[in-house]
Each structure stands twice: as structure tokens, then as C-alpha cells.
Amino acid sequence: MTNTEATTPTYTSSSIRARRSRFTQINRVPWVPDRLLQQLGGICEIDSRFRRAVRLLAVLWMHDSGIESAASGGEHASYLASHLSADAAEAGLNFHSPDLHLLALKELLLLREEDAAVDEDRLLSNPLSSMPLAVNLFGPLALDTKLGSKVLRQLLPDFVHSVQRIVWEHSPGRKDPRYLSDRTAFDLAIHVATPEGEPGIVYIEVKLSEELLGPVARWRDRYSEALHEVRLYKDPDSPILRTAPVEQLFREHAVAQKSVDNGVVPRAMFIAIGPRLNRRVQAAFKVYANELLPVDPADPTRVAFRHFTLEAIIDAIDVAGDGGTADQLWKRYCDFQRIYDAALAAIAPKTPVNETPSPVAAPAADDTKLRPQEGNRKKRIRPAHPASSSEVTDAANA
């Protein structure tokens, strides 16, 4: 395996038909008309095209779930409709179950690591933040390590045999000069047993609506030293590694490599996750991967980098047998067919909205190594949401 290994394996046509995903993503994030965002209280002038769409998806999810927004406090409300009210946040409604809410409170607030950077408002109140996404996505795997093992074996079959435990907002050496002498940390770290029976750690960075335009961390002399010490890069002095889209990936990857070099764990891997339609995030992952040296298969101490789409992780959860969690995640974070339907109904209200725009992207599972034998699930087509233009109008009026 190499650091720059593609996340799309080679399938035969028969194998694709054998395990075609239930979840099919459209090929481009729809442009959301201002009038629709204004109706729903979700307009923000500085949003990118992707962030406009994911904000509207959050507003619709909140409406479906009966979650009160912070914008409902009258004409003087200072928040967008995509922000939970104080009562809704305190009730844990930014999470998909009470168990996940309790997990977030315990692991990210009460038992967080010393000097961990945890923004309570983003965690509890902001549906567009990657922090609650990380809990909703990996929390079920933390609560059920058998499920976690099935999911991770699909994604990283050469590295993971079983999941032992998950640690949140983690750094093996925060402010430690043996690392980067800063507060660089991962969204989570999954302790695993490898197929060879060794302990290992999968360090994970999760992105959702981020644009990766900066600001960047203040450059330190230690960063320049670490670029050479970790022996991961074709050109450790490349200016690309210092730019806004990828410098965070360098810092985290370097910390992951240092965790092996410093004897924390004998083997590790660094993976990054982001929505397929967040093209800035996906481009940053690919640009960073292109800066890396190949990993020598004979040297297990080298930390490889892999990147996956959010859709692929959701599909892996579905394949592992937890279709309910997969459905919740898809509807909240990835159902951009629904945004297309709502936008079309806003600008052409008499047009039917029960057809998928053409062309359609490849199934979400096709960009990672998923094993069809994991879990038993029904093959069914996901309907467009909502089923008619009247439902879109009703939702917008609400």
C-alpha cells in the first residue's frame, strides 16, 4: 500500500451489481436560490455553494425532527435557522440519540483531554459543525465495537481486525516538543487490533461544511523540522504543505507518524473524511496525497494516509447491518437530491420533482473497499425527497 493509494478499488461489473449501494448521490451540489433560503431563515452571504446547500439541508432536518431553531426567538434573534435553540441544544437534539448525546457530554466535555480545544456551542448547537458529525458518525461504532469492527474491516481490511475503543479530540502529544509543540489534535482516534494481532491506531480528521481557506496555524520552526523528520514527503520544503488547504493535514499526519516514532503505538494510519460534493475538501485531500512518498510495504512503522467520502462511511455502516443509523446520517448530511427538489420547486413550482437529475454519480460505496458479506440488507431504491412539489412548498412555508 502507498500513501497515495486511490480510494477507488477496481471492481468487475458483476461485483458492483452484487453490492450496489442503497444510497446514490447526485453528481453536483445544487445551487440554492436566495428566495428559498430567505423563506427558511438560512441565508448567509459568505456561504460557499456547498455550504448554502448543507445549511438548507440542516434547516430541513431540524424542521422534520421538530427541533426549535435559535432564529425562532422573534425579530431580534441573532442566529440563523440552522442553529439550535438553547433548549434544543441542552436537550441534546444535535445528536441522533440520547446515548450519543451522553457520549458527547462525557467524552468531549467532562472527560476531555487536558487543553483540548472543544467548542461547546459548535458541539451542541451547530448542525453544520464537523464535531457533532463525528459523534453521530462514529459514536455508534464506539457504543458497539462489534459494529465498529465490521465497518473498519471494510474500509481498512489490511490494517483493522477489530475495534477496541475510540478516543475523542485526541492528541498523543499536545504541546509536546517531541511532536509539534502545539495543540494539533485529531477529531478521534480508533484503537484497533491489526490482522497480525498488533495494537494500532487509526487517527481520523472529519470535515463537513469547511472550505479550508484559512486561517492557517502560525508557522513554527518546529514544523519545518518535523517535515524532514517524519520522512513522509517527496519535497519536505514544498510550499504546498504550508498552504491553507493542506497544512492541517500535514500537522496531523506528522503527529500520527511521531506517535509511532515515539513508541506510543507500533502501527498507525491517518485517514480524512469529507462529503463527496464538498469539492474543496476533496481537492485538498488529493493535493495532499500527491505530496507524499510511497510507503514501503516492508516498513510497517510508516503511517499511510487514506481519504474517504462521507458517503462511503455511511454505506459501510449500512453494509455492516445498521441501516437505521445509515438512513439517519444520509438524510441529515448527504441527501442533496432533496435540496435539488426543493430548489427546483422554488424556481419552477409546476415542475415535477420526483426525478433524479442526470447524470448521477457512482454509488457511494464505489470509492472504498467494502466487503459485500458484511451484514444482510435489503436492496431497495432510495426515493426522492420530498415526493411532490406541494411538500416542498409546505416545508418552505413552515
Percent above pLDDT 70 for the chain: 82
Q: Exposed, middle or buried by CB within 10 Å (0-12, 13-18, 19+), for 296?
A: exposed
pLDDT (0 to 100) of residue 42: 85
pLDDT (0 to 100) of residue 47: 92
Residue 270 neighbours by CB under 8 Å, 6+ apart: 202, 203, 204, 205, 252, 253, 256, 303, 304, 305, 306
Which residue, chain included where needed, has cell 479530540? 169
What predicted TM-score, i.e. pTM, was given to this entire model? Answer: 0.85
Mean pLDDT confidence for 321-327: 98
**Helix 145-155 × helix 310-319 angle, to 10°:** 120
Residue 78 or 229, more confident? 229
pLDDT band at 356 (very low <50, low <70, confident <90, very high): low
Instruction: Give, rounded to a whole angstrom, the gap between the first and last alpha carbons of the chain.
Output: 51
Q: Where are the beta strands (DSSP E) in the chain?
A: 162-170, 186-193, 199-206, 267-274, 304-309
Residue 398 or 243, more confident? 243
- Say how far apart CA 45 and CA 34 lie, in whole Å: 10
- Say how far apart CA 384 and CA 398 lie, in whole Å: 20
Tell me which amino acid residue 100 is.
L
Residue 299 neighbours by CB under 8 Å, 6+ apart: none
Is the distance from CB of 113 to CB of 169 less than 8 angstroms? yes
- Say how far apart CA 319 and CA 326 lie, in whole Å: 9
Q: How do beta strands 186-193 and 162-170 pair?
A: antiparallel
What's the pLDDT tens digit per position in 201-217? 999 999 999 988 878 88
Residue 101 has pLDDT above 50, yes or no: yes
Residue 278 has pLDDT above 70, yes or no: yes
Most trustworthy range by pLDDT among 7-21, 66-80, 135-149: 135-149
Q: How do beta strands 162-170 and 267-274 pair?
A: unpaired
